[in-house]
Amino acid sequence: MDKIPLEVLREILSRLDSRHDGRLAPYATVCRAFQFLIEARTFAKIKIDHSAESMKRFEAAFASKRRRCLLRTLTFTIHLPDRYNWSVRQLRPEHDRRYTIAVNELFAQLHKWTNLWDHSANLKPFNLSISPMPVRFVAINPTDVKVNKHPNFPSVTCVDKIKNTCQQLYPRVISTILKAQPSIKHLSWKIDTITSLPDTTRLNIRASTASVLSVGDFSSLEVLQLHHMDPVPFDQDPPKYINSHGKDRLSLALNQILKLPNLKELDLRGAFTLSPEIFNINEGDDVVSNSLQNIRLDLSRMTPAGEWYFTSNRGSGRQHPKSATLDPFLVALARAIVRMPALKLFSCLFPGAAFLRYYAPGTREPCRAAESTFVFSTLEFSRWVMHFEMTARCKDGRPLLSDWNLPPELVEVLKGADHRIFLMRGCLGVGSTSEEL
């Protein structure tokens, strides 16, 4: 059977009971070709936890260099104490200790594979996902000094994508993990703040996030996905995140990220509170980034200075653009986007208020229902769809946005770069207007 083409063997395996890859294991002894095909499936996606038994099985299963080359995705679950067995004061230090030990032991295991990846250009690194359980109770705090027991995790070169599913992992721990993976290309990181947290804690988490993004070595990074929720309590004024110089450190840090030499995709999901400083460009610079292809921004309607990008208008909620704050943001955005020659797709969402989307020439992306009102005769031009949403209209039928227009400087910048602009005002089903500027 070793002489049968692999395509034929794959077809034979597809007819077997393959709903679970483990059931194919007995067929691996039929011939070497079967063994290769079955192990390529069986060892491609592996899930382990931090128990001694699971770690021992993982080490035994991948003792062979041949099998290590088959691994594509490793999901590592860290089981933490349940909240019902620990008081709040006891819970956090124990989580810190167990999480740090678990990650250190996994990296020590993967460090043994280093020479294999360092000396073979044909091997592909795999994806690593770290999943603390239960997720919602993990909160690593640097003041507990638990991570300092292992200030430097063993280096890992066989991973090029890392995903963290814990929304309460303190940012400085991410920095510690990344020091062991200097060549990381894809980082997915979730960190949320909740309204029940004290203001000082929320400010510290934001400052720590900015610090990690500012000083971390992301020179090899190609994809950065951040998920961050920063809700504003209904019974409080918006928090102020600017420093004594009136600057927002997180916006400035993300501005540095935009200019990374190898970054192809920046995906900010959730609700980021950012200022126009994210799009800062130096006067005279012809290019912001030669590599960026896709950008997605999910933004809060508040500014880091404690103001709003949108205000209420005739009881419609915060949907009416506030020129003093929104116009500078839109102009800075436009000036940066036209200096990204590789950009294919850009989207910016202010939930319930505005949705901005850019398509590069030749880009074919599914449109939202609101965008279907525009029929593009050709896709060979740069185009913007700018949709400002409404929930009501004035008594005379005019849109509530009739007294606000896109900033003239934004229109001038985009048209000067041969970008076409399609402006929509209103909500489908309630009434809307659309025009090409």
Structure tokens at 250: 């997180």
Task: Look at residue 370 and give its three-state secondary structure.
Answer: helix
Residue whose C-alpha is closest to residue 155's, from 182, 173, 180: 180
CB neighbour list of residue 398: distance below 8 Å, 6 or more residues apart: none
How far apart are alpha carbons 204 and 262 in whole angstroms? 29
The enclosing H or E element of 306 equals none
Compute CA distances 258 → 73, 242, 243, 343, 395, whole Å.
Answer: 28, 20, 22, 12, 44
Tell me the three state secondary structure of residue 270.
strand
What is the reported pTM? Answer: 0.83
CA–CA gap between residue 278 and residue 227 (Å, rounded): 17
pLDDT of residue 66: 81
User: β-strand 294-299 against 73-79: which pairing, if any?
Assistant: unpaired
**Would you state the pLDDT for residue 350?**
92
The confidence score (pLDDT) of residue 364 equals: 65
Residue 272's SS3 state is: strand
Supply the pLDDT for residue 154.
85
- pLDDT tens string for the chain (437 positions)? 556 666 666 666 665 655 555 566 665 556 666 666 666 777 888 999 999 999 999 999 898 888 888 899 999 998 877 654 444 455 567 777 788 888 889 999 999 888 776 666 667 888 999 887 765 444 444 433 344 444 578 888 889 999 887 766 778 778 888 888 878 999 998 887 665 667 777 788 888 899 999 988 888 999 999 988 877 655 567 778 888 888 999 999 999 999 999 999 999 998 899 999 999 988 777 889 999 999 999 999 999 998 999 887 655 577 888 999 999 999 999 999 999 999 999 999 998 889 999 999 877 655 554 444 454 445 678 889 898 886 666 666 666 666 788 999 999 999 999 999 988 887 755 666 778 88
- The H-or-E segment that residue 62 falls in is none
Amino acid, single-letter form, for residue 402: S
What was the pLDDT predicted at 400? 61
The secondary structure element, H or E, covering residue 41 is helix 32-42
Hey, what are 372's tokens?
């279907």
Whole-number Å distance between alpha carbons of 33 and 41: 13
pLDDT on residue 167: 62
Peptide bond into 134 cis (omega under 30): yes
pLDDT at 10: 63
Q: What is the pLDDT of residue 366?
A: 52
Q: What is the largest CA-CA distance in the chain?
A: 80
Q: For position 59, what pLDDT does the model report?
A: 93
C-alpha distances (whole Å) from 191 to each of 103, 394, 408 are 18, 41, 37
